[in-house]
Amino acid sequence: MFTFTYLHSSHTEYFTFENSEKDVTNIALSFYSGLFAYNGWNYLNFIIEELKDPIRNLPKAIAISCTLVTVVYVMANVAFYTTLSPEEVLGSEAVAVTFANRLYGYMAWIIPVFVALSTFGAVNGILLTSSRLFYAGACEGQMPEILTMIQISRLTPTPAVLCMALLSMLYLTVRDIFALINYVGFATWLSIGIAVLCLPVLRWTQPDLPRPIKVNLFFPIIYILCSVFVTIVPMIASPVETGYGCIMIFTSVPVYLIFIAWKNKPKTVQRMLGEL
């Protein structure tokens, strides 16, 4: 409501593109922060086993959630820039708090509460979905067998959840959040881009496979092109961060060679891997 009121009052002086970044390499790198904010749209795919009637409910859930989150996030940014200048946004440690202090006065405390609730919900959703990814990988023999175990009474993959929590705490050791986003962003979007590339490849090489949920190839092709842009171009703008992202990906190579590619393992090695 405040946003529409400010817009109606012609508070649009901060919507200009004056002094905007024009370097395409930096623009590509900035996508990582934006994509990080919207990350989570693909996590529904990890919990198909948990869904009732996924053929009907999965596309509906993705469409509703993506549309709703996009509208809310865009309106939040519009609200920020009707109230704060670009310099204030860039200089603020917490834009929502600065916005609340400017607009709501003594009621500004309510915005940090909503931010905390949103963050808690995001963490809850990530733990729910990503732990299932670890669990599924372990069931396929691609991760330690202990991650296939579930809690007896609640039937939750507790070891996988704990593994996610430990990795999250490890990420907290990185002081610069934007460097962390660039490290993980490069690895994430390169991996997802390659995964999406498999869709048209399989559609062409194995056209007769059953496909309960089938999408038009236009969308994955556009997605692949965007993935190429946000992975190749940032290498020029930030070779160090993208280099760390490559290292993160290459650490999976020995894991794949030992756990997957090596079929005729000696019994001693099989027993040792089974005890992990």
Q: Give the pLDDT score at 11.
A: 62
Our count of domains for the chain comes to 3
**Residue at 169: amino acid letter:** M
pLDDT digits (tens, 9 = 90+) for 15-28: 677 767 677 777 87
Asked if pLDDT for residue 43 goes beyond 60, the answer is yes
Asked if pLDDT for residue 88 goes beyond 70, the answer is yes
| pLDDT-based confidence at residue 270 (cuts at 50, 70, 90) | low
Q: Give the pLDDT score at 9.
A: 55
Query: Using CA atoms, how far apart are residues 231 and 29, in angstroms rounded to an integer?
Result: 9
Least confident piece of the model among 60-64, 114-118, 173-177, 199-203: 173-177
Are residues 182 and 166 part of one domain?
no
Instruction: Kindly provide the b/e burial profile for residues 118-134, where b requires at least 16 CB atoms within 10 angstroms of the residue's own CB.
Output: eeeeeeeebbbbbbbbb
Are residues 237 and 182 part of one domain?
yes
- Provide the 3-class DSSP secondary structure of residue 167: helix
Q: Give the pLDDT score at 225.
A: 92
Are residues 131 and 93 part of one domain?
no
Q: Give the pLDDT score at 41.
A: 72
Residue 48: inside a domain, yes or no? yes
Which of 69, 84, 108 marks a domain boundary? 108
Asked if pLDDT for residue 235 goes beyond 60, the answer is yes
Residue 164: inside a domain, yes or no? yes
Are residues 161 and 92 part of one domain?
no
Are residues 153 and 81 part of one domain?
no
Mean pLDDT for the chain? 81
Q: C-alpha dihedral over 256, 258, 261, 264, to 10 degrees?
A: -160
Residue 23: inside a domain, yes or no? no
Higher pLDDT, 128 or 268: 128
CB 258 within 8 A of CB 276: no
Residue 249: inside a domain, yes or no? yes
Q: Give the pLDDT score at 8.
A: 54
Q: Per the confidence metrics, is the pTM higher than 0.85? A: no
Contacts of 139 (CB under 8 A, 6+ apart): 148
Query: Using CA atoms, how far apart are residues 58 and 56, in angstroms rounded to an integer?
Result: 6
- Domain of residue 223: give its range: 178-276
Residue 217: inside a domain, yes or no? yes
